[in-house]
Amino acid sequence: MAKAEFLMTEGSVRKKLIGFAVPIFVGHLFQQLYNTVDSLVVGRLVGASALAAVSSTAGLIYIMVGFFMGFSSGAGVIIANDLGAGDETAVHKTVHSTVAMGLVFSVLLTAVGILASPVMLRWLDTPADVMPEAVTYLRWYFAGSVGLVFYNTFMAILQASGDSRHPLYYLIFSSLLNVVLDYSFIRFFHMGVAGAALATALSQVISAILALRRLLKTDEMIRVQPRSVRFHKDKLKQIVHFGLPSALQGSVIDLSNLMIQGYINSFGSMAMAGIGAYGKLEGFTFLPVGSFSMALSTFISQNRGAGKKDRVRAGMRFAFPAAVLLVEFVGLVLFLFSPALISLFNDDPEVVAYGVQRANICALFYFLMGFSHMTSAALRGLGKPTAPTVVMLVCWCLVRVGVLLTVGKVWHNILLVCWIYPITWGLSAAVYVCYLFYLRKKNVF
């Protein structure tokens, strides 16, 4: 049985959600910091062209990694639901099917990432002056993708049990290691963008090893037994049912972002560097939402498994406003201090101007993005994984791509890239409000 301190079916709703969300927030903060360090060190020590190269790879990394992470989140929902129901056999099967899935995805991600990097970057119309360093960074990054895949696999298992503290410890250690390796590889070994990617890969491998060690030694239902790692047909079907919509949701959003990155590339390396730098800062706005959405999804899954609708409703009433207010506060900070923050990456006036322009338009609308992500997480926990996929596919992918292919052809302006995000955040939020009212009337929660 999972430890009572990790189960979310009893005790104060607020304390359980905050106790789960805070370690995830701190962990994601460190993760975002070590992702940002890549760009920060590269931009300051190597130059704007190298910063543009690293920034241009972000969309490709997100789309390939995001697909697997969607499956992990689906597996996490199933594990949490089985734990809430106290079904030890079901938990055992899901855990080991999830690890088996990680093995398959790590091989695929490594092979595709290394072999197809030049082709994918050409699809994005990556400028010739940026291409060599972009290819180098991407190949080194995916060479270490086994660490990335297994880190997310093991974190999904631990967090599904309600344990967000141990993942935090491992992430803090690996994040600090990444900072040291990043600076060392670039400053002393003169490895350039390859050093930044290698530092990230090594840090992720170590965090995965630490998480695996925990899962091998725990006496809880989520314990990993290497000889039991294989696919269980019934649980694999459930993982696909819950994970595939989440994977597709993340992928289609990242695909639209990839097309937007291609549009940004058409404005040259300064635009790529400036908007890429702001993108790293923007990652910090997702931290409150990411933390509370994971907490809420796990909370709802466990309590749905235990048949406690009253706790499901109480969790949603607390988590939604908490996350939305926090993300809007972070957006306000970025709005006020974006010039100074972007100049930390590169102080070229043109680079800073592009980043500030993006901040002035997007930063005050993050509450719309936050509400959409929280609703998506709640729906996954409620066993409705397809609905958020459809909403995000239409609002965050088809609409964005459609605008680029129509308006973008006649109005070639960087402002289009900036405004397309808050407009589609608002569209998805409006749809979600209507759908939540519908589910409430149907007594789903």
SS3 of 67-134: HHHHHHHHHHHHHHHHHHHCCHHHHHHHHHHHHHHHHHHHHHHHHHHHHHHHHHHHHCCCCCCCHHHH
Q: Among 193, 196, 152, 160, which Cα is nearest to 27's? A: 152
Q: Please give the chain's pLDDT, 445 residues, in tens.
A: 445 456 778 888 998 899 888 887 887 777 676 666 667 777 777 777 777 777 777 767 777 777 777 777 778 888 888 888 888 899 999 999 999 988 998 898 889 888 988 988 888 778 788 888 889 988 988 888 888 888 888 988 988 887 878 888 888 888 888 888 888 888 888 888 888 888 888 888 888 999 999 999 887 888 999 999 999 988 888 888 877 877 777 677 777 877 888 888 888 888 888 898 888 888 888 888 888 888 898 899 889 888 889 999 999 999 999 999 999 999 999 999 999 999 988 888 898 999 999 999 999 999 999 999 999 999 988 988 888 889 988 998 889 989 988 998 889 899 998 999 999 999 999 999 999 999 999 888 8
Q: Among 426, 415, 323, 427, which Cα is nearest to 365's? A: 426
- Contact partners, residue 54, CB within 8 Å, separation at least 6: 38, 39, 42, 133, 134, 137, 193, 196, 276
CA atoms of 41 and 431, how far apart (whole Å): 41
Predicted TM-score (pTM) of the model is 0.71
Asked whether the beta carbons of 351 and 344 are under 8 A apart, the reply is no
**Which residue do the tokens 């930044």 mark?**
196
Asked whether the beta carbons of 311 and 445 are under 8 A apart, the reply is no
Q: Cα separations (Å) of 402 from 255, 396, 399, 422, 444?
A: 13, 10, 5, 16, 34
CA atoms of 367 and 289, how far apart (whole Å): 10
What are the domain boundaries of the chain? Answer: 13-441
| H-only helix segments in 187-268 | 192-217, 233-265
CA atoms of 411 and 414, how far apart (whole Å): 9
Q: Among 147, 142, 146, which Cα is nearest to 204's? A: 147
DSSP three-state, residue 11: coil
Write the DSSP symbol of residue 162.
T
CA atoms of 30 and 37, how far apart (whole Å): 10
Other beta carbons within 10 angstroms of residue 226's beta carbon come to 9
Asked whether the beta carbons of 345 and 280 are under 8 A apart, the reply is yes
Q: How many CA atoms lie within 13 A of 338 on its CB side?
A: 30
